[in-house]
Amino acid sequence: MPAHWQRSSYCAQGEACLNVAADAAGVKVAESSDPDGVILHTTPDAFASLTHALKTGGPSPYIEVAHTPDGLVRIGGVVTTTPEKWDAFVLGVRAGEFDHFGR
């Protein structure tokens, strides 16, 4: 069964944004405009720790978020996105749009 990808309602027009999906193996995070289709695979618990950190301003113990010198955002050392798409994702997290992916 293909994954049902969800993006933040705060994303700009179009489909290019950070997307989240769940399947039997766990939670996946991807940048929809990445031509290589790089996907961060993680557990529901690790994803929940990321969303909690984004809501409270603390660090995420399992999924690192790094801001690169060239202005991009790298999630879990795997997925790279723009600051605008990251900000839309964070707003969606803070609004509870992705709570159902974590435990």
pLDDT in tens, the chain (103 residues): 457 889 999 997 666 789 999 988 999 999 987 756 899 999 999 999 999 999 999 999 999 999 999 999 999 999 999 999 999 999 999 999 999 998 7
Rounded CA-CA distance 80/30 in Å is 9
Q: Specify if 96 maps to a domain.
A: yes
74 lies in a domain?
Answer: yes
Long-range contacts of 94-97 (CB under 8 A, 24+ apart): 94/54, 94/55, 95/8, 95/9, 95/10, 97/6, 97/8, 97/9
Question: Does residue 1 lie in a domain region?
Answer: no
* pLDDT (0 to 100) of residue 15: 63
Q: What percent of the chain has pLDDT over 90?
A: 77
Give the DSSP letter of residue 44: H
Strands 79-81 and 73-75 come out as antiparallel
Provide the domain limits for residue 33.
6-101
